[in-house]
Every structure is written in structure tokens, then in C-alpha cells.
Chain A
Amino acid sequence: MQKKFNIEVDCANCAAKIETAVKALPGVQNASVSFMAQKMLLEAEDSQFDAILKQAVKAAKKIEPDFEIEL
């Protein structure tokens, strides 16, 4: 399943780092974070999607404490 989320990130470098971190999570097939569009794309197994999304948000907040996501 592939889903897009509206997010809030403050710096381009953090967006890039969040992307790398989310991509590295187990179960994530693909991820892309766009600083310009303030969007995140997450592609993961349907059955675990919600759990993986939670992990992704956690990883993102770790890198950028101001990270916000519209679920």
C-alpha cells in the first residue's frame, strides 16, 4: 500500500535525513519526503502499514523534534 501524508518539516536537510531513516525501517518498501511540497510518501505491506507508519513517525520525530504529520 502506498499513502501520502501532509507533513511539516522545517529544514531541507532534516527532510532528507528523515527520508533515509524511514527507508531503512524494516517493512518499508519505499519512502520519499519532500521538503518543498511538505509531503511524505510511505509504501509498506498492507497488513503492517499502521504499525510501520507509527515507527516512521517516531523515527522522524527523533531526527526533527518539530516534525508534524497529518494522519
Chain B
Amino acid sequence: MTKKQKKTLRRILIAAALYIAAAVLCALFPAMPWPAQAALYLIPYFVIGYDVLRKAVMGIVHGEVFDENFLMAIATVGAMLLGEYGEGVAVMLFYQVGELFQSYAVGKSRRSIAGLMDIRPDSANLEEADGSLRAVDPEEVAVGSVIVVRPGEKIPLDGVVLEGESTLNTAALTGESRPRSARPGEGVISGSVNGDGVLRVQVTKAYGQSTVARILDLVENSSLKKAKAENFITKFARYYTPAVCFAALALAVLPPLVLGGGWAMWVKRALTFLVISCPCALVISIPLTFFGGIGGASRCGILVKGGNYLEALAHTGTVVFDKTGTLTQGVFRVSRVTPAPGHTGAEVLELAALAESYSSHPISKSLREACPNPAGRAENAQEIAGQGVAALVDGAQVLAGNAKLMQARSIDFVPDDGVGTVVYVAREGVFCGSILIADELKENAARAVEALRRQGVRTVMLTGDSEAVAAGVADQLGIDEHHAGLLPDDKVRRVEELLADKRRGSLAFAGDGINDAPVLMRADIGIAMGALGSDAAIEAADVVLMDDDPAKIALAMRVARRCMGIVYQNIVFALGIKILFLLLGAVGIANMWWAVFADVGVMVLAVFNATRMLSTRSYRL
């Protein structure tokens, strides 16, 4: 409990004691004149309600009428004026109990959501110049200093291993405990837990820039991006409160004027009406549900950057995948070399590796791996987007790329129809041969697509690869639609075309976040996968999957739908009960006590319902 809550609790206890004393005295001496009775009840009333009255008055002074303080002040002062002293105090007392309970429940769930992301490192063991260790706050560690991570400790800052070998558990970040190795020269990510080796790590990023800080920042700030449902409630509350106040006024004035007599009864009903009407349950439970949903998702290694994205995810009708690195492992291996007559396989491979030696494309990497030390020199390397590269190798013009490149340079080549990416190689305009490079499907790719299809989601795959490869992969995975041979610009255009089809709900694009930032931004929901350690992906996407498991997309959608389900439940439940009680109050069935339940009880139930989002048991794949 916070200091403020403790103070409120003390006030509640004192006021309750005074209230009981007043009630006992009034019962013992029923002949007491009314001013004395009023005075007895006014003491607990002011003890418990002074802040509400003060805020109500300040609200009126500032032109901010119609808040809950105003409602409570009017209702209790009204009860007092009607001579119902006990009731006035009791309602105020219950209101404060409810407020305290609410503040406690919300605070608790806020803390448990924060606890879900239990990745914040407590301290770092900084190695001093003389070799001794000192535990310091991770925020104080400068880039370049050396820290020591003992077995079982959290890695406090991103860095590179200098000494020691161990395995790291990234479960707190990715939701799954897949061990990662840590050896000298390899990078380690803050937030992962060290296995059983001692590591000496050189810090490469300050705490503020480290993975852990960025993730925490992202989760904490996600509630600033509000979903439509949240904004709807806020807007609703803005019109609702004044509307209810006028309805209460009408209820107090019109029936006695029309039906005649019974002012006290109708005023009392109007006051009950006011107490019921408090919009707190709605206004609090909706953001809490989104907050819980975001917390629950992050526990599974899915970071959602805002309630609005959670809402969009729940309405996803189309998921567009980038093939490479998303559905496939993005690890290309040379699987076949077909030299043209008069050339050898080794020669073709060497030429290709040289020509591509400056390219960062995954294909080039696999060529370099297949031919690690090519003999020769390459210069003037030029990337031709969507086609390949051109370079001068030992003075001769070498082209390495897809069929389009060969056609563009009108080179006579022998097509290779294997499933995979084919690199055609030509020297001085003469075709030398082709290299087939295949990319393996991810283990979970088929399951991911299947899970989406079961949820009735259309799946589309975009790729820069050839039609043959795309068709092969799409067929294997059961993807509804595929578009091959796309340049980065084409991908944006395709996504825009798909976006134009509004019947389908929102569109999510999943990529590895490395060179598809424009598409990630353009889609309703940009999902970046394998983000662990990739700052660019975390920056560009709306939903970030910490590991590279495509099945998490379907899981994210399930979490989102569950969250929206609870949001709608709360809206319907809270509004339904309110309207029911407003009617009951208007006809005089529900009294002040019912009214307090309708206000505080509904709110507490809605808060409990919202906290269901925190149970992550149901989020297993």
C-alpha cells in the first residue's frame, strides 16, 4: 500500500468509528433535537469526505463540473439536507472504501504486469583497473568497461564476451527457453540469464540503449498509444456524465411537478441515480485490459507497441509474409553448381563469390561460404536492385544475378529450374554457368500458416525470388497467395493494393525488419521478427517478435482477440448493470446501498475481469 492509500485507510477507520458512535448515540437518545444529531453525523462526514467536497468545489470554480467528486458531493449533501444524516455519511464512507479498493487493485495489477517483464537487471559487477569487482547500478557502467557475469546472473548490459564460455537462457525475452551460446567474440544481450560459466563481457551499449532498457521502455510506453475502444470510452464519459446529471435533475423536478407532491422521495431517487451513474468502472477497466494484454503478450516474447495495435491485430484479415527470414531460415546454401560447357564448377563459384564479395545480401554470404578464399580481385562492384551484381573481376566484366539480369544484358543462358534461388554467372557477356542456392523452411512455418488459416486469415507471401521458388514454398506451406520477383518498391505497392481491399479487416505484414522498413510502416500492423539484438526492427515495427518463430504471429492474434473480448465484455457488463440500476433507481427499487454497489462493485468486478489478461497459461502455442 502506498502512503496515500494508508492515509485513506486510516481516515476510513476513524470515520467508521465516529459514524458508529453517532449512530449509537442517536439510538440511545432518540429525543435528541435534530441539530445535535446533524452535528454528530457531520463529524465523520467531514473526516471522510472533506477532500471530495474540496475537489467538487474546486471543480466548479475551474469550470470542471460533472466529475465523480461532484456527483458524490451532490448526492451526500442532498441526503443530509433531506435529514438522512446516517445515509449521507455511509454513502461517502463506502465511496471512499471503493476508491481505496480500486486504487489498490489497479496498483497491484500494474505491479504484476511490470513483474511479468522481470528482466531489469539489479546490478552489474564492474571490473576495476586493479581487477577487483564492484557491484554498481547498470546505469553507471560506461561503454567499453568490462563487467563479469557469474552463473545464474542476468546479463545487465549488451556487450561482447572477452573470456569464458556459457549458454544463455533468453526465456525472459522471447518466452521460450532456447539456449544461446556465448563464446569469446560473440555478442550477448542484456536480459538473458547466464548459464553455468563465468563471462567477462566488454560493454558495447550504455544501459539506456541496451536491449533490456529498450524493451522495458517500449512496454511501459505502449499504454500511451490508445486503442479506439479506449478513446471511445473517454469520449463517451464526456457526454455521459452531464447527460446523467440532467436526467437526475429532471427526475427530481418533473415527476413531482407533473404528478404533484412527494418532493423528498423524488429528490432521493435522483440522488441515488447520481451515485449509480459514476462512469469509473468503464473508464478504468478498458485501459487496464489493454495494459494487461500488452503485459501478457510481452511475457510470450511478443512486444506490442500500443493498445491500438492490439485492437488492429484482433481484426487482422490478411497476413502478408516476407519469405526470406520469415518463413524460411534465411540461411542459404549452395546446393548445386551447373557449369556451362567449357567451364568448371569451381570457376563458376569463384567468379560469383568474387563478384558478390561486397554485397551484404544473404545469397552473397552463402556464395562466400561455399568458396571462402577465391583467387582474384574484384572492383567496381555495383548492385542492380532485384537483379544481382556487376563487377570487374581481374579486369573482366562479370555479371552474377537472376534470369532478369541475363535477359537485360541479352546473354544467352541455360535456365535452371530447381527450387531455390538461381544465380547465373556470365563473364564478358558469355554465360559461364548457374548456381542453385536453396533456403530451408523454418520448422514452425507450416504450423504458423496452418494456425492462421484455421483462424480464417488469408495468407500472402511476397518475395524477390523467382516464381518457381515462391510457388514451391507457397505450395509446401499452404499459403493462399504469392507474388514473386518483387523489388522492394513492388512490395510496398503490393501491400498497398492489398490494403485497398477493405473488406478483409486489417492487414499485418511480417518481415525480419532488416530491409523491409517501408513495408512495415505502410501495413496496418508491421510485425518484425527475430528482433533480439536488431534495433532497426524494434524501431520500425508495431509488433515485435523477440525470436524468429512465425507461429508467434497466430499467438499474438489470439492474445489480441482475447483482450478485445474482455474489453467488450467489460463495456457491455458495466454499461448494462449501470443502465439496469439507473432504471431501478429511477422507479425507486434500488436505494442508496444498491447504488454504491452499482458504482464500486461493478468497477471492482470489471477490474478483476481485466486482470484475467495477465494469466499467461492460456497463451501457450
B-binding residues in A (CB < 8 A): 4, 10-14, 16-17, 19-20, 32-39, 41, 62-63, 65
Residues in A neighbouring B279, C-beta threshold 8 A: 13
Q: Which 9 A-B pairs have the closest CB atoms?
A: A12-B284, A34-B223, A16-B234, A36-B291, A32-B224, A12-B283, A37-B223, A13-B283, A62-B62
Are B287 and A35 neighbours in the complex by a CB distance under 8 Å?
yes
Residues in A neighbouring B288, C-beta threshold 8 A: 36
Residues in A neighbouring B290, C-beta threshold 8 A: 36
Q: A20-B238, A62-B64, A65-B55 are in contact. Are A41 and B287 (CB under 8 A)?
A: no
Task: Report which residue of B62, B64, B224, B226 has the largest number of chain A beta carbons within 10 angstroms of its beta carbon.
Answer: B224
Question: Chain B at the A interface: mostly helix, strand, loop or mixed?
Answer: helix
Query: Shortest distance in angstroms between B606's beta carbon and chain A's nearest beta carbon?
Result: 11
Residues in B neighbouring A38, C-beta threshold 8 A: 110
Give Cα A65 to B58, complex, Å.
8
Task: Report which residue of B233, B234, B280 has the largest number of chain A beta carbons within 10 angstroms of its beta carbon.
Answer: B234
Q: Which of B226, B280, B291 contacts A32 (CB 8 A)?
A: B226
Are A37 and B284 neighbours in the complex by a CB distance under 8 Å?
no
Give Cα A45 to B279, complex, Å.
35
Are A37 and B68 neighbours in the complex by a CB distance under 8 Å?
no
Residues in A neighbouring B223, C-beta threshold 8 A: 34, 36-37, 39
Give Cα A62 to B63, complex, Å.
9
Give Cα A36 to B284, complex, Å.
9
Residues in A neighbouring B106, C-beta threshold 8 A: 36
Chain B interface residue number, banded = 20 to 34
Give Cα A15 to B283, complex, Å.
10
Give Cα A57 to B288, complex, Å.
24
Residues in B neighbouring A12, C-beta threshold 8 A: 280, 283-284, 287
Give Cα A28 to B143, complex, Å.
36
Decide yes or no whether B67 CB sits under 8 A from chain A. Answer: yes
Give Cα A11 to B59, complex, Å.
15
8 Å CB contacts to A: which residues of B214-262?
220-226, 233-234, 237-238
Query: Shortest distance in angstroms between B12's beta carbon and chain A's nearest beta carbon?
Result: 16
Give Cα A35 to B283, complex, Å.
10
Are A36 and B110 neighbours in the complex by a CB distance under 8 Å?
yes
Q: Which of A13, A37, A62 contacts B280 (CB 8 A)?
A: A13
Residues in A neighbouring B291, C-beta threshold 8 A: 36-37
8 Å CB contacts to A: which residues of B263-306?
279-280, 283-284, 287-288, 290-291
Q: A16-B283, A36-B110, A63-B62 are in contact. Are A4 and B237 (CB under 8 A)?
A: no
Residues in B neighbouring A34, C-beta threshold 8 A: 223-224, 287
Residues in B neighbouring A16, C-beta threshold 8 A: 233-234, 237, 283
Query: Shortest distance in angstroms between B405's beta carbon and chain A's nearest beta carbon?
Result: 44
Give Cα A38 to B58, complex, Å.
23
